[in-house]
Amino acid sequence: MTNILGFYQDIGLALTVLVLSTFLLAGTVKGVIGLGLPTVSMGLLGLAMAPAQAAALLIVPATVTNFWQLAAGGHLRGLVTRLWPMVLMIFGGTLVGSLWVGIDGGPWVVRALGGALLTYALVGLFLPAFKIPAHRERWAGPACGVITGVVTAATGVFVIPAVPYLQALGLSRDELVQALGLSFTVSTLALACGLFWHGELGGGAMGASLLTLLPALAGMALGQWLRQRISALVFKRVFFTGMALLGAVLLTMG
């Protein structure tokens, strides 16, 4: 308990409120559209703390919610058979990227995070639906995995280009949700390894991250409730617009 509370005593009441409310919002977004927890949390917390510190806080809630998403659907074996080259390269790319640059490599990391968020938002708002032929997955999957891994290592955001790639594979809705869970789970575990390597994921950080699980799960429950009552399309447009504005702000910082 001391490890859990010590971090929040150090950062003060205002920043503690920001952390907990951020994970409540991030969990709500994930509950509505099935993704966005690390994106929202890294984006908002990146305004007030070092990216490595923000990334350490998201490890526990991201791992738990991603395992939850991964376990549901009944398509795991087929998805692993199809996506293992991409998944392997995500893990390898994240580890190599962590050793090469790391998420706390300097002020440019904040701008890189902003660029990742802005790119993600613009893809979500404007990129038309497209399909990747099955015969191209042999090289496109690993290439996507490496790029996703490096972006994850540098920014803590693991949606670009993994999410657009998976959306282009022609998966069913249930398969896509589970495939995203698989990709995010591997990304989170690899990111945790990189943070541990750089000394950013000790007992205090893990304890602080454990506490953020509570608002994240509460947000997911709220998001699932909202999903039945609002237009998913309208919500996505508002979400991506917000991410674009946040990314633009982060690009001017650092």
pLDDT in tens, 77-132: 999 999 999 999 999 999 988 877 666 656 677 788 788 888 888 888 887 777 88
pLDDT in tens, 222-232: 988 887 888 87
* Residue 210, number of CB atoms within 10 A of its CB: 16
Query: What letter would DSSP give residue 158?
Result: -
Range 42-71 average pLDDT: 87
Long-range contacts from 43-48, C-beta under 8 angstroms, 24+ separation: 43/113, 43/117, 43/157, 43/243, 43/246, 43/247, 43/250, 44/18, 44/246, 45/18, 45/19, 46/110, 46/113, 46/114, 46/250, 47/246, 47/249, 47/250, 47/253, 48/15, 48/18
C-alpha to C-alpha distance for 186 and 205, rounded to whole angstroms: 20
Model confidence, pTM: 0.84
Largest CA distance in the chain: 54
Among 47-56, 65-74, 105-114, 181-190, name the most confident range. 181-190
Domain ranges of the chain: 2-251
Residues in the chain: 254
pLDDT in tens, 146-182: 999 998 988 888 888 998 899 899 888 788 889 988 9
